[in-house]
Amino acid sequence: MDEVEQLKRDARRCKKKIRVLVVDDHPFFRSGIVEWINRHPTLTCCGEADTVAAARSAAARLRPDIVLLDLRLPDGDGLELIRDLLEDCPDVRVIALSQYDEITYAHRALQAGARGYIMKSAATDAVLAAIEAVFHGEVYLSRAVAARLTHNLFPDPASIVSDLTRLSDRELEVFQMLGAGCRRQNSRDLSGASEGEASRLRRQRAASGGNSLGRKGSAGHTVEAARAWR
């Protein structure tokens, strides 16, 4: 899509109410969120669904802007439904609803293509913020989930420093080489390592995506790799 077409689409979005499809199998919760949406001046509920099959049918028929989707439905997997909705309706944007704040659920929902993840217990202000943010092309996470994601992406530096202080001089030397992306075949300094140790290192680097120190969990992997090369 070129820039002009994108601007036209954004302008159309700004002039109309945000059309929301609510997918949840709990009638009380669903009716409450629908009533709240319809009272809001910038939102309108264009449809409801309580199963995977009904959600797919409603999304294809109604073409909503936003789908508020409960991840737990009685007839199927909410994560798979996200993928199906995006395949059938590429313009739709999905916000996953869950009663769990586990990082696993949020991570998988985002991987499946959801643009937001909020708790079902969230205040209406948070739901509104999620809908508006996702509608305008942003990603929205509840504060608790965002904090946990950030913690996973950027582990406590103190724990890494603690690991480093326990390395021997030889292990620290290897750690520095590994952090610089050094490979065994390119360094005579590592010539004393056995093939078994080299294989272990290659497996550890592959498991961490071949990363050096700047990414998730890589420092911890590299410390262990350094110990394996002693």
Span 161-207, pLDDT tens digits: 555 566 666 666 666 666 555 544 444 444 454 555 555 555 555 55
Residue 9 CA to residue 3 CA, distance in Å, equals 10
Q: Choose one of 152, 170, 199: the last residue of a domain.
A: 152
Judge whether 65 and 135 are in contact, CB under 8 Å: yes
Question: Is the domain of 168 the same as that of 142?
Answer: no
Question: Is the domain of 140 the same as that of 162?
Answer: no
Question: Is the domain of 20 the same as that of 99?
Answer: yes
pLDDT confidence of residue 217: 46
Instruction: Please say if the pLDDT value at position 25 is more than 90.
Output: yes
pLDDT confidence of residue 147: 77
Evaluated on CA atoms 81, 86, 88, 91, the torsion sign reads positive
Average pLDDT value over all residues in the chain: 76
Question: Is the domain of 130 the same as that of 193?
Answer: no
Q: Choose one of 152, 176, 211: the last residue of a domain.
A: 152
Residue 224 CA to residue 109 CA, distance in Å, equals 31
Q: Find tokens 């499809």 and name the residue.
A: 21
Closest CA to 52 of 92, 95, 83: 83
pLDDT confidence of residue 145: 78
Mean predicted confidence (pLDDT) in 131-135: 96
Question: Is the domain of 105 the same as that of 179?
Answer: no
Provide φ and ψ at 75, rounded to 5°. Answer: -115, 15
Instruction: Please say if the pLDDT value at position 17 is more than 80.
Output: yes
Instruction: Please say if the pLDDT value at position 16 is more than 70.
Output: yes
Q: Domain tally for the chain?
A: 2
Question: Is the domain of 148 the same as that of 164?
Answer: no
Question: Is the domain of 205 the same as that of 101?
Answer: no
| Structural domain boundaries enclosing 204 | 157-228
Closest CA to 130 of 102, 104, 109: 109
Residue 191 CA to residue 185 CA, distance in Å, equals 8
CATH of the domain at 30: 3.40.50.2300
**Degrees to nearest 5, angle at CA 58 with 93 and 81:** 55
More confident residue, 153 or 103: 103
